[in-house]
Every structure is written in C-alpha cells, then in structure tokens.
Homo-oligomer: A and B are copies of this chain.
Amino acid sequence: MNHQIIVKNYPVGWLQESNFEYRQVPIAKPGESEVLIENRFLSLDPYMRGRLSGSKSYAPSAELGQVMVGSCTGVVIESRSNKFRPGDTVLNTLGWQTHGICKDTELKAIDTSEIPEHAYLGVLGMPGVTAWTGLIDICEAKRGETVVVDAASGAVGSVVGQLALARGCHVIGIAGSVEKCNYVVEELGFNACINHQAPDFKDQIKNILPKGIDCLFENVGGEIFETLLLLMNPFSRIALCGLVSEYNVNPYGNRCLRSILINRIKFQGFIVTDKLETWPAIIKELKQAYLQGHLKYKLSQVDGIENAPKALIDLLKGNNFGKQVVKLS
C-alpha cells in the first residue's frame, strides 16, 4: 500500500495535526515513460506553511483532499522509462507519500556514492541553493563584512554561515536555544551565536555587533528582525528569505522601517525557484565545499509518514534542531 498524508483543511492560526489526514491507497502502476518510486526521505521545510492557505502567494496552494506537497528522495522500484532503472536513487516532488508514479522528466538522479541521500534535501538541495542565492546574489557578501543570519542552526541558516565564513566574513548567528548556539559556534565555526530566547537578547546582540551588520539573511521576522534592523550599517543589504515567526500568528507590526531609509538599505525578498538556471553551478560549488568538509549539517529525523504533521509543526515552532526530514522506509 501507498501511505499518504493529505491536506484536510487549511489552518486558521497555528497549524494543527488535524489539518492533515492519513490514508492508504493501492500502489499504482507506471505508464509509459513513467517510474514507480519508493520514497526513503521526505524533506520538511518552512515554506510548506505558505502552501497551506487559500490566499495568493508565489506558488499555488496545496489542494484540499490531495497529497501534501514536498520533496523526497527515494528509489526506483519499477521503470517504464529508458532513463531510469530499478535501484536508481532519485530526487522527486511526490510529496507526503511513501510511493508514487513520476514521469521520467520530473525526476533527478542523485549520486549517493560519496554523499548521503538526505544531503540532496538540505545542503546540496533547495535549502543550500537558497542560502547561496540570498548571501551571494542578494546580499553580495564581501570579505571582511559582518553577516548575521537567524535560524542559524537550521537547514538554510547553517549553510549561510558556513558559506560566509569561507568568504572571509565575520559571521554571527541567532538561534533559539543555548544548545543550538553551542552547535553553531563549536561545530559550524560561526564567530558567535546569540540565543534569542535569552531575556537580554537585545543587549547581547547589540554588544556582539559593535561594528553593525553589513549583510542580514532574514529567516524569522517579528521582533527579532525589528531588533536587527536597528543594527544595520549604511549601505547594508537584507535578503528576506522567510518570516517563520509570523506564519502562524498575526503578522508583527514593524516600527523600524526608518532604518531602511536613513541607512540606504537594500531589502529584497527572493524565492529560490525563480532562477532555476543558476542551480547547477551553485550545487556544484556546494558539493565541492561539502566534500572538502566545509559544509557540515545536522540531521533531525523522525520516523514514519504518520509523524510528518507533528514534525512540521515542531519545525515551525523551532523545536527541531537541524535539517528536518521524515524517514519513510
């Protein structure tokens, strides 16, 4: 049987497990130029919250009654395509299900000889390309500049910091616990990391940034972003990648936009899928960095597709630690 999680209804406020429904359906048979895949890993990412809404965004909503959207890695178990053979490991967008049929044009073969499969959902996948695009393309980070990234221990933030360090930047992370901050500094090599849960967070972040911020990679929004806005330098840049603190609650009212004016900040939103043509070269660079040991990451894994809804909610609450995946088989 194919085990699926479908979208039952859209949340109002916080996402709930009850917004999803588990079901089993028979495994289908591939048609011509199609393959049948058994998925091993499902990627969970903050963008998924944006799909669970009827309102207009940059991508269509996940459809009610349909399998929840997402990227997976898995193995081909039956093929009617001359491009793939049983046993091939592939990246696909089958979403939250253990099995599925794909056209052979909707798949990408991945090489797992030197690289673990789940890396293609993280450092060498969409989150890694997101980090690169925001830091290099939008922020134009240069040697000697100070880079700040929040959600620093996460799939995107951890890559942002490591890429910035490799470019000779001074890198400060922000994360949601002492444990995460320790990991970011000790394992990933960030120059410092501040716990935004600390009661004196605002003082701490100000004190650690005597020379201000040149590049801000923004994942979180809310009061954290407002605090950081006041620490931006003249002619600094902000890559707006996410506002995860605001996805499940009423949006925060940001009172510090004057900083954008007086500091002549470039503040730019971006979506990594807008420039698919840039991906191959970026992934090549990321792969090289990974193989040289300069792109570490931490895997946060839950087992079984029935646990995916709770794991996504935990991710949105910041309760996970590292790149979140669901092990499917």
Contacts and interface: CB of A to CB of B under 8 A. Distances in A.
Task: Work out how many copies of this chain go into the complex.
Answer: 2
Question: How extensive is the interface on chain A, given as a class?
Answer: 20 to 34
Interface in A235-289: 240-243, 246, 250-258, 260-271, 274
Nearest to A266: B268
B257 A243 contact: yes
A252 B255 contact: yes
A47 to B, nearest CB: 10
A234 interface: yes
Contacts of A241: 261
Contact of A263 (B50, B58, B255): B58
Given A250-B255, A252-B255, A253-B255, A261 B242 contact: yes
A267 B267 contact: yes
Nearest to A56: B262
Q: Is the interface of A mostly helix, strand, loop or mixed?
A: loop
A271 B261 CA distance: 8
Contacts of A100: none
B261 A240 contact: yes
Nearest to A260: B269
A267 B268 CA distance: 6
Ranked nearest first, the 6 interchain pairs of A and B with the lowest CB-CB distance are A253-B253, A261-B269, A251-B255, A260-B269, A267-B267, A266-B268
Interface of A: 50, 56-58, 221, 225, 234, 240-243, 246, 250-258, 260-271, 274
Given A240-B261, A264-B270, A268-B268, 18 more contacts: A58-B234, A58-B264, A225-B257, A240-B257, A240-B260, A243-B257, A243-B261, A251-B256, A254-B257, A260-B269, A261-B269, A262-B269, A264-B269, A264-B271, A264-B274, A266-B267, A266-B268, A267-B267
